[in-house]
Amino acid sequence: MSFIPQDWQPAADELSGKTILVTGASRGIGRALALACAQRGAEVLLLGRDEAALENIYDEITAAKLKTPGLIPLDLNSGDSALYETLAGELTAAGVILDGLVNNASVLGERRALAQTSPQSWQEVLQVNITSVFLLTRALMPLLEAAPSASVILTSSGVGRRGKAYWGAYAVSKFATEGYMQVLAEELGSTSSVRVNSLNPGAVNTRMRRLAYPAEPPGTNPEPSELTDRWIYLLSDASHELNGEALDAQG
């Protein structure tokens, strides 16, 4: 797999003039990334199902006198395509042009053997982790196409590149994420200015990581804020030639 340049540092205004939509923006990597994008000059659209948590990061961004973000309360566990089309219509009506879409939201689901995985958990994980990515990206593609050089980033996982026992639906969903990235990148590669890449964060001190590895000392892994430059690189014009790459945030 490819690596983000470890010595690359974003300028203070690296994302100035860009509008970036981040899913799962209420906590973990999504929250840290939303704040980092705002600090680099972007207008950030915060999407998540926990409206109170979204309002919290909204307040933090506005208190820092950064560009006022947008709030998008949306439960990605819904497979109703009309919800995603309605969102796209509202953004279009507001004159939004998307320079970046970070499909970051994920749920872990049940950590057990596939034979013991409940159909309900399987369905939720696949819906949130991959089907909603298809529905949201499909609905927002006209807004991405309207930008000079838009970037779509899919947050992947190591267990989506090599299967691991007891990771069940989560691992399957991340394999699907990689496949979706490859297909969409190839489809757009010769016809569009939209580029599509996946990024595996590696081990990061997030709530999901602590749920997956409850015995692991939290301080073992970097904080999400220590890795946000990797996503910013892919959202910036510095990565305009990257398309269809499976990347790693940590060497």
Task: Read off the pTM.
Answer: 0.94
pLDDT tens string 102-115: 999 999 999 999 99
| pLDDT score at 1 | 46
Phi-psi domain of 188 (left: phi exceeds 0; alpha: psi -120 through 50; beta: other): alpha
Q: Which CATH class is domain 2-117+142-248?
A: alpha beta
213 is catalytic: no
Number of H helices and number of E strands within the chain? 8, 8
Average pLDDT in the 31-54 region?
A: 97
Which of these is catalytic: 84, 170, 180, 233? 170
| pLDDT score at 217 | 82
pLDDT tens string 54-69: 999 999 999 999 999 9
Q: How far apart are CA 194 and CA 181, in angstroms?
A: 12
Average pLDDT in the 67-78 region?
A: 97
Contacts of 32 by beta carbon, 8 Å cutoff, 6+ apart = 223, 224, 225, 227, 228
User: Which residue type does 225 have?
Assistant: S
Q: Where are the domains of the chain?
A: 2-117+142-248
Average pLDDT in the 222-250 region?
A: 94
pLDDT tens string 17-35: 999 999 999 999 999 999 9
